[in-house]
Amino acid sequence: MTVDTATPTWDRVRRTALAGSHPTAASTYGGPMIDWTSWTGTAVAIAIALLAAVIAVVLTRLIAAILSRKVPWVADLDRRIRRAWAAVCLVVALWIACAISEPVGEQWWPGVSRLFLILTILFGAWLIAALVSFGFERLLLRNDTTLVGADMRRRRTQVIVIHRLVLVLIGVAAVGTALFTFPELRVVGTSLLASAGIVSIIAGLAAQSIFGNLIAGIQIAFTDAIRVGDVVVVEGEWGTIGEINLSYVVVYIWDERRLVVPCSYFTTNPIETWTRHSDKILGTVYMELDWRVPMDAVREKFLEIVDASPTWDRRSAGAVVTDSVGGNVTVRFVMSAKDSSDQWDLRCQVREKLMTWLQQEHPEALPRTRVLVDAPAVE
């Protein structure tokens, strides 16, 4: 005869038989033994489980505190995973306590057991995500100290995009694993896989824009088209690439506005970037002046202004006449700076100081309109 030992009824009979087959076992050690098949035993098991979870959490923090004296980043790791680790310890401890005591024989135990399994999966994914985030942050900090300029921005962008992609994969894997703990969903999943050809076509057409932006986000990260920190002009707006997500890019405009642009925009439209290979940049200032402007004096004053400015990187500076139309000439002043911010400040300084100097020293060089009035004819 074959006995189904997996049923709750059999499990209750087995535990009752074990409890009743040793009536004198309690006196072997001089005191009453705990009957784990009772609700009192369940309460004791839960209390022991909670105590074990607390001990595990406290022991982990103690070890982290000791190690952090020699390895400082261990303290940061402990702060990052503290809540997730406590949640995992608590759920696993309660699951084990209930599995060895009275609830395991109840009719509602399979549902509760599945709930514990799902919580363990989700909290475990939370713990893994916290560990992954900490690892990527450490990688970013190391890159920030070993790389500079365009290389730092390129590596930072790639790490950020990969980090977010890994977090999405962890979340999808956790939710998928939790759902497949239900036998009904396994059958549904098998049926869906059988018709995957039609479903994939429909889903592809419906989510073309979503997947297009997702692929574009990954493409941006690895083709080095734009990077976090790049200075760009997008849709006529000058700003800095502040965030690169899997589906959109946030441009920080200079006046504190935020321009949110789909990733596919940067793969299908031309954009102007000022920091493609280096932060160094040239700035220009144009002035419309009168033909009588003393260029030698203007050039000398310009060089004096840029030489006194801390924002000039001493790579390039020059003043030339680039055009002469009508009653004015166009003078172009070129100056270099280490980045776009310093270049903006330097251009403003040159423009203001030259304007003031011309007003005070050479007012004849300021633009003016000439009108020739002929004398009336004498009859």
pLDDT, one tens digit per residue, over 144-183 is 544 555 567 667 777 777 888 888 888 888 888 887 777 7
The pLDDT of residue 6 is above 80: no
Radius of gyration of the chain (CA): 37
Burial class of 190 by CB neighbour count within 10 A (0 to 12, 13 to 18, 19+): exposed
Closest CA to 285 of 360, 348, 368: 348
| Phi, psi of 100, rounded to the nearest 5 degrees | -105, 10
Higher pLDDT, residue 182 or 312: 312
Higher pLDDT, residue 215 or 298: 298
Structure tokens at 51: 């105590």
Higher pLDDT, residue 81 or 36: 81
* Arithmetic mean of pLDDT over the chain: 78
Structure tokens at 303: 């060089």
Label residue 197 by pLDDT band (50, 70, 90).
Answer: low
Structure tokens at 30: 């001089």
Q: How far apart are the first and last CA of the chain?
A: 144
The pLDDT of residue 358 is above 90: yes
Q: What angle do CA 23, 27, 29 make, to 5 degrees?
A: 135
pTM over 0.75: no
If you average pLDDT over residues 260-283, what whole number do you get? 83
If you average pLDDT over residues 26-36, what whole number do you get? 48
The pLDDT of residue 136 is above 50: yes
The pLDDT of residue 19 is above 70: no
The answer to whether the beta carbons of residues 151 and 145 sit under 8 Å apart is: no
The pLDDT of residue 139 is above 70: yes
H helix or E strand, kind and range, residue 214: helix 208-223
Block residue for tokens 């696993």: 92
Predicted local distance difference test score (pLDDT) of residue 29: 40
Predicted local distance difference test score (pLDDT) of residue 268: 84
Predicted local distance difference test score (pLDDT) of residue 17: 38
Predicted local distance difference test score (pLDDT) of residue 150: 59
Lowest mean pLDDT among 150-154, 274-278, 357-361: 150-154
Predicted local distance difference test score (pLDDT) of residue 187: 58
Label residue 21 by pLDDT band (50, 70, 90).
Answer: very low
Label residue 320 by pLDDT band (50, 70, 90).
Answer: very high
Label residue 204 by pLDDT band (50, 70, 90).
Answer: low
The pLDDT of residue 13 is above 50: no
Closest CA to 290 of 358, 348, 353, 352: 358
Block residue for tokens 């009508």: 326
Q: In sequence order, what are the residues at sequence separation of 6 or more whose Cβ sits closer than 8 angstroms to the Cβ of residue 258? A: 242, 250, 251, 252
Lowest mean pLDDT among 63-67, 196-200, 216-220, 225-229: 196-200
How far CA 25 is from CA of 29, 35, 36, 39, 278, in Å, comes to: 8, 12, 14, 20, 81
Ordered domains of the chain (ranges, CATH): 34-146 (no CATH), 204-273 (2.30.30.60), 281-365 (3.30.70.100)
Predicted local distance difference test score (pLDDT) of residue 332: 94
| Phi, psi of 242, rounded to the nearest 5 degrees | -95, -40
Predicted local distance difference test score (pLDDT) of residue 8: 45
